[in-house]
Amino acid sequence: MVHRGAHERTAATRAILLSYHCHGRRRPFGSTPRMNPIVIEVGRGARRYAIEIAAGLIGRLHERLEAHGAGHRSVVITTAPIWHFVRNRLPPRLASVEPALMPDGERHKRLTTAARLYDALVQREADRGTTVVALGGGVVGDTAGFAAATFLRGLPLVHVPTTLLAQVDSAIGGKVGVNHAQGKNLIGAFHPPRFVCIDPLVLASLPRREFRAGLYEVVKYAMIASPELFAVLQRDLDGINSRDIGLLIPIIAECCQIKAQVVTRDEHELGERRVLNFGHTVGHALEAVTSYRRFRHGEAVGLGMLAAAALAVARRALDRTVFDALRQVISRMGPLPAVADLPAAQALDAIRHDKKIVEGRLHFVLPTGLGRVTTVTDVTERELVRAMKTIGMR
């Protein structure tokens, strides 16, 4: 199955990226005038929802909630650090109400946290008309989203993602959930939001490493579906790193558009959605063998994409120049954690336990060109080990 996402996408985002391409607009971070949001539709039928993207959009969140029929009653769920950074960007009516706080960090993405959120919802007398506003990164989005999916058999949910990873990935697609001691994301549901409110200005306070972690997922979208996006990354990495809002908006829109298109066609992850796992086979293995402590998820994906590309080159499925371009973009983004001490054999063992193994077959996403991938099921353990050694594992 070959996926050629780029030329199938609607003209809208393409035009945005291209107009950017032509004019190369530059504005210092934070100086963008109020603009109409870019709107990207996700899903079908009753489960259809909009992703809205604009600088300063979070300042109009109350108005946007009302526009989506979700303004009547809402409970904001966030963490103390995120509230600290983002509160002053919210409209006064939302900023003045105490949010329901959950503890910050991946280790709190678990059932006990969801249980505390149920307590908070009971205390606030939430009913089926109460909208849960998940304000934060993927951890808040997944945990608050899971609480929303299960409380009273489902409350309306609005995602307000505040990390780059959440804006391009976790807030889109309707997956919510928490971790189990035996594995990540083992408990969850599909619960699409009413809408997703993306304000790239909130990324100003994001720590560098978190920002970079999201950027590797941006590289992933470029590799699976958008040579144009790849070209922007190659050309404008400095501006992107300084979080130039004129650059970030079209980039985030392009990523959302790609994910929206993939998940709309494959809402329950039966087939095409697998392409989003490019770089994730080795990436997840790296996270597992380091007990989720060494890498930010995106960093592991960065390394995993290099391993997948190396494997593709070894098979002669990918031109070496594409591998070199990928390696260069990734290395220019900044340092990645060391892998030299990690045995490829141990990572292989983790891959054997991966969720991407269906009926005994590993579904491996192989890049075949810029913006083009294919899923194969015949990757051997030897190829995997070789590829992992190419990226420096022992």
Answer yes or no whether residue 142 interacts with ligand NAD by CB under 6 A. Answer: yes
Identity of the amino acid at 30 = G
Does the protein bind ligand NAD through residue 169 (CB under 6 A)?
yes
Interface with ligand NAD: number of residues (CB under 6 A): 30
CB of 165 to ligand NAD, least distance (A): 4
Q: Does 59 bind ligand NAD (CB under 6 A)?
A: no
Binder among 43, 137, 283, 367 for ligand NAD (CB under 6 A): 137
Residues labelled as active-site residues:
153, 175, 217, 259, 269, 273, 277, 280, 284, 297
Q: Give residues 80-119 in contact with ligand NAD (rule: CB under 6 A).
A: 81-82, 85-86, 104, 106, 109
| Residue 162 found at the interface with ligand NAD (CB under 6 A) | yes
Six token digits for residue 76: 């904001």
Kindly list the distances between the CA atom of residue 315 and the CA atoms of 7, 323, 345, in Å, as whole numbers in the listed order: 26, 13, 20
Residue 131 binding ligand NAD, by CB under 6 A: no
Binding to ligand NAD (CB under 6 A) within 274-313 occurs at 297
Chain residues 179-208 in contact with ligand NAD, contact rule CB under 6 A:
184-185, 202, 205-206
How many Cβ atoms from other residues are within 10 Å of residue 111's Cβ?
14
In angstroms, what is the minimal distance from the CB of 185 to ligand NAD? Answer: 6
Measured between alpha carbons, how far is 251 from 20 in angstroms, rounded to an integer?
10
CB of 193 to ligand NAD, least distance (A): 11
165 binds ligand NAD (CB under 6 A): yes
Greatest Cα-to-Cα distance within the chain, rounded to the nearest angstrom: 60
* 167 makes contact with ligand NAD (CB under 6 A): no
**Residue nearer to ligand NAD on the CB measure, 18 or 186:** 186
Work out whether 139 is an interface residue with ligand NAD (CB under 6 A): yes
Position among 166, 201, 258, 310 found at the interface with ligand NAD (CB under 6 A): 166
Task: Record the tokens describing residue 37, joined without a space.
Answer: 């949001």
The CA-atom distances, in angstroms, between 219 and each of 109, 120, 144, 286, 371 are 26, 38, 27, 18, 10
Nearest of 145, 73, 66 to residue 109 by alpha carbon? 145
- Compare residues 170 and 368 and give the one whose CB is closer to ligand NAD: 170
C-beta of 141 vs 310, nearer to ligand NAD: 141
Query: CB of residue 172 vs ligand NAD: minimum separation in angstroms?
Result: 7
CA angle 369, 374, 378 (to 5 degrees): 120
Residue pair 243/204 in contact by the 8 Å Cβ criterion = yes
In contact, 195 and 131? CB cutoff 8 Å: no
Which stretch, 69-77, 168-176, 310-318, 352-360, contacts ligand NAD (CB under 6 A)?
Answer: 168-176
User: To which residue do tokens 């300063």 refer?
Assistant: 56
Residue 138 or residue 371: which is nearer to ligand NAD going by CB? 138
The answer to the question of residue 130 lying near ligand NAD (CB under 6 A) is no
- The yes or no reply on residue 76 touching ligand NAD (CB under 6 A) is no
Q: Which stretch binds ligand NAD (CB under 6 A): 12-20, 35-43, 118-126, 162-170?
A: 162-170
Report the residue from 9, 42, 52, 210 that binds ligand NAD according to the rule CB under 6 A: 210
Closest by CA position to 232, among listed 328, 329, 304: 329
Which residue ranges make up the site for ligand NAD (CB under 6 A)? 79, 81-82, 85-86, 104, 106, 109, 136-140, 142, 162-163, 165-166, 169-170, 173, 175, 184-185, 202, 205-206, 210, 213, 297
